[in-house]
Amino acid sequence: MIDLRDLSVTIRGTQVLRDVDLRLHPGSITGLVGESGSGKSMTALAIMGLLPHRAQIGGQVMLDGQNLLTMSEPALCKIRGRRIGMIFQEPMTALNPLMTIGDQVAEVLRIHHGMDRTAALARARERLDRVGLPDPRFPLTLYPHELSGGQRQRVAIALAIAERPDLLIADEPTTALDVTTQAQILDLLAGLVREEGMALLLITHDLAVVAGLADRVAVMKAGEIVEEGPTETLFRTRSHPYTHQLFAASRHAPSRHAPATGSPLLRIRDAVREYRLPGGDRLRAVDGVSLTIGRGESVGLVGESGCGKSTLTRAILGLDPLQGGTIALDGRQVMAGRRMPRDLRARMQVVFQDPFGSFDPRWRVARLVAEPFHLTDRPAGWRDRVGAALSEVGLHPDDADRYIHEFSGGQRQRIAIARALIIRPDLIVLDEAVSALDVRVRAQVLDLLAGLRRSHGLSYLFISHDLSVVRGITDRVLVMQKGRIVEDGAAEQVIDTPSAPYTRRLVAAMPRIPTDWVA
């Protein structure tokens, strides 16, 4: 059993954890939920003894009566990977790209038991079989780049549980994965806890994930655990106001006006987009897609990674050429590259997922927001327009003189929306635009988007893997699978009573909080 007592961590004068008490029992799952920066990952790193060097630590992390915090580094190396295993959020980068998956799993056994390579590989084979990567489909000689994200997360789990640890810490293990893959990974983790009797600390921002899985839940805010208890009780009572807020935000759907019945704005007919693969084969990423978005309409496009939604988006924005079919905006044909007239480009704007990567850090906000003016020539009062756009997204006009690093993730996404708004487009493509945001911030941004749509008569193409968000903000949902649209209908209808088998699978895999818990 692992027991955290009064765990406090201070890094460079900032207290990041304050008197954290948490008990992790064998064979049970503890969910640790909270927003980014609340100290969830710090708690995990403190247990692992992997905090940054400058961190000052107080309290105790007890494992079998020993305090890990006072243990020497060599002694901790014998605990990590053997008694406590850990998996991380980003499976794409969590594995060494130059080492076979067999060797990476075997390495754990070799360093802790001095096992020879053959014996360690045999055990690694067993563990990979256990996590659902069976021989011969997944030989030990595969490299990480030959596997998908979900498969790589399975390898990461295999090496974390190779030694059958007492505790497995999973830090946002499924946040980067598709819903169906997420459901499989969560199943796997639950099975491991049941069969091998380990304790699981499941760190996530997603309340729905812990609802279906955890025995107990701890809610963390600003370095403190504000509420802790059995999952169902905690979800039903929500006694702490912060827990209550998180709940409300995660289920938030902005008020929507009746679906617009305007004339068609974007019309796509039989669009085909192909790639040539190394080796000469062709991949048809978009395969005969037809769709229409009406003026003032908000349309969701959902599907798992690799289904072609990003490829389709690039074609709509006129960034890539089509190999067949047409895309027309307000009757004018969209073409890739220089052949597309600037005034047509100015009628579409895009907001991407990553609030940190989509801005030049050396530019001031005024220049960032005014950038789309290169499509229309900069009007005389452009600075006022920047100020007005910033006000519209809930920021202050004076923010124009600041740099992007001075803003939080949610504020950056507001700036991205201001940048899209400034040349008054007809259509804004929102490509996973709220996926990286915390629930409360996400709720605010969704409200903002709904309000802007009302006041400006905007159309949205809202691309997301998250069905619950799509349901809240769009009038109509398109479901995409392997380059084709497999279902098209009103948002509520598609998600509540899906008709295509693929949509049914997606909806079934969607984690959700039981309805009677929140009644």
Partner 1 sequence: MIARRTAGATRFTAARRRISVGVMLRYVLRRMISLGLSLLVASALIFSVVELVPGDPASFMLGTGAQPETVAALRQQMGLDQPLPLRYAAWVGALLQGDLGQSFTYKTPIGGMILERMQVSLPLALMALTLAAAIAFPVGIYAAARRGKAGDAAVMGGTQLGIALPNFWFAMLLVLLFAVKLRWLPAGGFPGWSQPDAALRSLILPAVALALPQAAILARVLRSALIETQGQDYIRTARAKGLTAGQTLRRHALRNALIPVLTIMGMQFSFLLAGAIIIENVFYLPGLGRLIFQAISQRDLIVVQSAVLVLVAAVIAVTFLVDLAYAAVDPRLRNR
Rule CB under 8 A: which residues touch partner 1? Answer: 48, 50, 73-74, 77-82, 85-86, 88, 90, 93-99, 107-108, 111-112, 136-137, 139, 143, 145, 156, 159-160, 278-279
What is the rounded CA–CA span in Å between residue 111 and residue 332? 64
Please say which residue, 177 or 478, places its beta carbon nearer to partner 1: 177
Please say which residue, 81 or 223, places its beta carbon nearer to partner 1: 81
Residue 480 in tokens: 């995409």
H and E: helices and strands count for the chain: 18, 20
What is the rounded CA–CA span in Å between residue 443 and residue 472? 10
Q: Minimal distance in Å, beta carbon 136 to partner 1?
A: 6
What is the rounded CA–CA span in Å between residue 201 and residue 186? 12
Please say which residue, 96 or 497, places its beta carbon nearer to partner 1: 96
Please say which residue, 143 or 382, places its beta carbon nearer to partner 1: 143
Please say which residue, 98 or 258, places its beta carbon nearer to partner 1: 98
Provide the 3-class DSSP secondary structure of residue 335: coil
Q: Minimal distance in Å, beta carbon 306 to partner 1?
A: 17
The rounded radius of gyration (Å) of the Cα atoms in the chain is: 25
178-203 burial: b if 16+ Cβ within 10 Å, else e? bbbbbbbbbebbbebbeeeebbbbbb
Q: Minimal distance in Å, beta carbon 124 to partner 1?
A: 12
> What does the chain come to in residues?
519
Q: Minimal distance in Å, beta carbon 250 to partner 1?
A: 27
Please say which residue, 48 or 198, places its beta carbon nearer to partner 1: 48
Q: Minimal distance in Å, beta carbon 46 to partner 1?
A: 13
Please say which residue, 40 or 476, places its beta carbon nearer to partner 1: 40
Please say which residue, 196 or 330, places its beta carbon nearer to partner 1: 196
Q: Minimal distance in Å, beta carbon 50 to partner 1?
A: 6
CA 464 vs. chain centroid, Å, equals: 10
Q: Following DSSP, what letter does each residue of 195-207 receive, concatenated?
A: HH--EEEEEES-H
Please say which residue, 12 or 338, places its beta carbon nearer to partner 1: 12
Please say which residue, 171 or 475, places its beta carbon nearer to partner 1: 171
Q: Minimal distance in Å, beta carbon 59 to partner 1?
A: 21
Q: Minimal distance in Å, beta carbon 113 to partner 1?
A: 11
CB atoms within 10 A of CB 118: 8
Please say which residue, 144 or 372, places its beta carbon nearer to partner 1: 144
What is the rounded CA–CA span in Å between residue 148 and residue 181? 10
Q: Minimal distance in Å, beta carbon 279 to partner 1?
A: 5
HEC string of 262-310 equals CCEEEEEEEEEEEEECCCCCEEEEEEEEEEEEECCCEEEEECCCCCCHH
Q: Minimal distance in Å, beta carbon 68 to partner 1?
A: 13
What is the rounded CA–CA span in Å between residue 151 and residue 138? 10
Q: Minimal distance in Å, beta carbon 139 to partner 1?
A: 8
What is the rounded CA–CA span in Å between residue 164 and residue 110? 14
Contacts of 292 (CB under 8 A, 6+ apart): 264, 266, 267, 268
Residue 248 in tokens: 């409300």
Q: Following DSSP, what letter does each residue of 118-159 receive, concatenated?
A: HHHHHHHHHHHHHTT--TTTS-TT--GGGS-HHHHHHHHHHH
What is the rounded CA–CA span in Å between residue 379 and residue 376? 8
